[in-house]
Amino acid sequence: MDLKPNADQQQLIDAFAGLYADLASTDRVSAAEPSGHDAALWQQLVAIGAVEMALPDSGAGLIELALVAEQHGRYLAPAPMIEAQVAARLLAQVGGEPSDRLTTLAVRPAVGGRAELVPAGAVADDALMLDGDRLLLVPLTGRATAVANLGCLPLADVDDIGGGAVLATGAPAVSAFEAAVDEWRVLTAAALSGLAAAALEIGVAYVKERTAFDRPLGAFQGVAHRLADRASEVDGAQLLAREAAWAHGEEPERFAELAAMALGFAAETAADTTWHALHFHGGYGFMLEYPIQMYFRRARTWGAVLESPAESYRRVTDVRGAA
């Protein structure tokens, strides 16, 4: 198992990194926070085939999607690429018709005709969701209510889902939905590892130039050692997310377990790394002029959309127990 990107994968990484550097600058991400969505960025992602690359016949596997997701998280890109990719894969699996409409995935099963905290639900046209043992495609117009959150993500609660189109029923519907949620776990874990890596770089750059007692903050062991520990965690989160994505195609029997493990560890790592990076900024870390506060807020929200790290780890034990 070699998780280092090959030449083709590195070109893919570089292409998306360049796109995000141009269209997901700190200023643009900040400007998009009221809605959590940059329409121009989304249109460009659609134009270059970011959603189509997720389809089974594109030649890209989940590992390629994870490498792209790392860059998505690194730049806090305000566009629902991960949700749209996973939804497109699920829609293709159950024989749904492709569409130009923005379709997301409600990662939490609906309860009582209501789906809560739907990722991108505030900006999407439709959502795939599980209601009991029925997989539905639900139009969101008039049904979605945006949910205010610390990370300025376009989350929404969706009511009155009964009018959605039924795409699959029974065990096949449940199985397909659960597999899609595991894919979302892995891609979100990859994005959180990218977010954490960027936050660490911001923190390291700051302590190199900020001084105290005529010395850079980074020269003090109490600072340097904590950031070094965070670097180890970030590397681990990245590798675990990549291993989970690799297992999707190579060792599918391990995929569900690794997906939960990857999300739990990446969420913890992103929260821990952004907290330390913000802490070493002192009071400046909470000012809107410093980007670290966006990483801090996003990490805490994004990592808890589906479940807490503790719930992710409980799922690991559940999957092992069912094996």
Query: How far apart, in Å, are the Cα atoms of 46 and each of 5, 54, 67, 73, 302?
Result: 24, 12, 18, 18, 22
For 5-24, what is each residue's pLDDT tens digit?
A: 999 999 999 999 999 999 99
Q: What pTM was computed for the model?
A: 0.97
Q: Tell me whether residue 222 is exposed, middle or buried, using C-beta atoms within 10 angstroms of its C-beta: 0 to 12, 13 to 18, 19 or more.
A: exposed
Mean pLDDT of 114-140: 98
> Tens digit of pLDDT for each residue in 76-119?
999 999 999 999 999 999 998 878 899 999 999 999 999 999 99
Enumerate the β-bridge partners of residue 134: 131, 169
189-219: pLDDT as tens digits: 999 999 999 999 999 999 999 988 989 989 9
Residues contacting residue 81 through CB under 8 Å, at least 6 positions apart: 45, 50, 51, 68, 69, 72
Q: How far apart, in whole angstroms, are the C-alpha atoms of residue 258 and residue 247?
A: 8
Phi/psi for 241 (5° steps) reads -65, -40
Q: Where are the domains of the chain?
A: 173-322
Tens digits of residue pLDDT in 37-61: 999 999 999 999 999 999 988 989 9
Provide mean pLDDT across the span 124-152. 97
Q: Report the length, in residues, of the chain.
A: 323
Residue with tokens 């199985």: 175
Helix (H, G, I), strand (E, B) or coil at 276: helix
Q: Which fold has domain 173-322?
A: Butyryl-CoA Dehydrogenase, subunit A; domain 3 (1.20.140)
